[in-house]
Amino acid sequence: MSKYTKDDVIRMVQEEDVEFIRLQFTDIFGHLKNVAVTTSHLERALNNRVLFDGSAIEGFVSAEESDMYLYPDPGTFTIFPWRPQNGKVARLLCEIYHPDGQPFEGDPRHVLSEVLADAAKDGYRFLTGPECEFFLYHLDENGLPTTLTHERAGYFDVGPTDLGENARRDMVLTMEEMGYEIEASHHEFAPAQHEIDLHYANPLKTADMIMTFRLTARTIAKRHGLYATFMPKPHSGIHGSGMHINISMAADGMNVFADENDELGLSRQAYYFIGGVMKHIKGMTAILNPLVNSYKRLVSGYEAPREIAWSSTDRDMLIRVPAIRGFNTRIELRSPDPAANPYLTLALILAAGMEGIRGQIMPPAPTNHTTRSAGADHLPSSLAEALDEMEKDPLVRRVLGDHITDKFLEAKRKEWEEYVLQVSEWELDRYLPLF
């Protein structure tokens, strides 16, 4: 997507007959929000003068300090292809500022920008590519989502077995019409499960792209009479949905992770980056896997990572180094799921990797199915455990800041407590006939 200026945006709005602009931003839980203005207020918006009530957004601010300003990024301007062609609708992604002109400490987009600026001080820049998995289910007679599907397709199946093929194709074409590049798309392991891989980009654009993709997928799915869900594990007994993150690192036009003289083709920086991520993965897990449901995906038997280990061959490890080497050498982190806030997820992964490089943290030896250790450490097994690990990790608090860390912990602990108090169907089926 091109880098537009304010003048470019004004010109395109006039030329394309845009009448409505959505000023979008992301809260700390990864939910997309927006304030809409008409084109008569576009210049006011581009001059950062649109005010909103931050106290109305969970995890933002109190009523006493509720006035917040939206600062649109002109480079994120795009027209929604699914809206009317007469009187079109466009969007701008925004960062959030206090009235005194200081960045809002609870803005996830700003958190990621700070991590990237810190890495740039050492001459490093990142490219990231996400693999977005999701399910397509039927809607009920009231237009509400279900977990029902007539489909029985599996990995890489095609139509007519793949009943979501047309919806997935339209999602890809719509994303490309908005200026995003798609690497690939295909049916995944479970019935009604799909994957669309977004082209690698700088991490800020990647996070913007993930948020745009979620909106696009849901919008296009609804047009096909379906619901796109990014819930990690909507059914037991099947594969869950992940959001694998591929990462490469460049300096002076070279791939920093590549070293043709190394046995595995990896540089010292690549090993150190892996070491930093492994050191902090427990503390990051509550952000990368933010739902009670997330931990029902991170179990054995469904190609989801469980052990804190890495490999250049084993596909179900936490960290995998794909076979391609040289300029395209990259690291794949497999634990994040599609419910995660992409800005905070990328910020923590990259900050942990940078700490590994700066501290020269070597990871343990790579492993595979035949060399796994019975005593290997594991990811947290529940949201409650992950929150405890998050609170203990100083890097997480340093990167996210006190505001996001404390608000996130508070909200998610409440979510866990609500879950624990529920009586599930499993409990009734298991215990009611016996006791």
Per-residue pLDDT reduced to its tens digit, 218-259: 999 999 999 999 999 999 999 999 999 999 999 998 999 999
pLDDT tens string 265-318: 999 999 999 999 999 999 999 999 999 999 999 998 888 999 999 998 777 899
Reply yes or no on whether the pLDDT at 1 is more than 50. no
- pLDDT for res 433: 95
> What global pTM score does this model have?
0.95
pLDDT band at 156 (very low <50, low <70, confident <90, very high): confident
Q: Are 290 and 243 in contact (CB under 8 A)?
A: no
In angstroms, the first-to-last Cα distance of the chain is: 62
pLDDT digits (tens, 9 = 90+) for 165-182: 999 999 999 999 999 999
In the predicted model, is pLDDT for residue 394 greater than 60?
Answer: yes
Mean pLDDT, the chain, integer: 93
278 in helix, strand or coil? helix
Task: Flag the least confident range among 194-203, 214-223, 233-242, 317-326.
Answer: 317-326
Give the model's confidence band at 161: pLDDT under 50 very low, under 70 low, under 90 confident, else very high.
confident
Which of 77, 379, 342 lies closest to 230, judged by CA?
342
- Strand 18-26 to 88-97 pairing: parallel
Query: What does the pLDDT read at residue 369?
Result: 62
Pairing of strands 331-333, 67-72: unpaired
CB 310 within 8 A of CB 320: yes
DSSP string for 149-210? ------TT--TTT-TTHHHHHHHHHHHHHTT--EEEEEE-SSTTEEEEEEPPB-HHHHHHHH
**Torsion of Cα atoms, 316 then 317 then 322 then 326, to 10°:** 180
Note the pLDDT tens digit of each residue in 98-150: 999 999 999 999 999 999 999 999 999 999 999 999 999 999 999 999 999 98
| 180 vs 172: CA distance, rounded Å | 9
Instruction: Give all domains of the chain, ordered by start, each with its CATH number.
Output: 6-102 (3.10.20.70), 115-425 (3.30.590.10)
Give tens-digit pLDDT for 7-54. 999 999 999 999 999 999 999 999 999 999 999 999 999 999 999 988
| Contacts (Cβ under 8 Å, ≥6 apart) of 61 | 54, 55, 68, 104, 106
Q: Is 342:287 a contact under the CB 8 Å cutoff?
A: no
Q: Helices 342-359 and 203-223, interaxial angle, to 10°?
A: 150
pLDDT at 429 > cutoff 80: yes
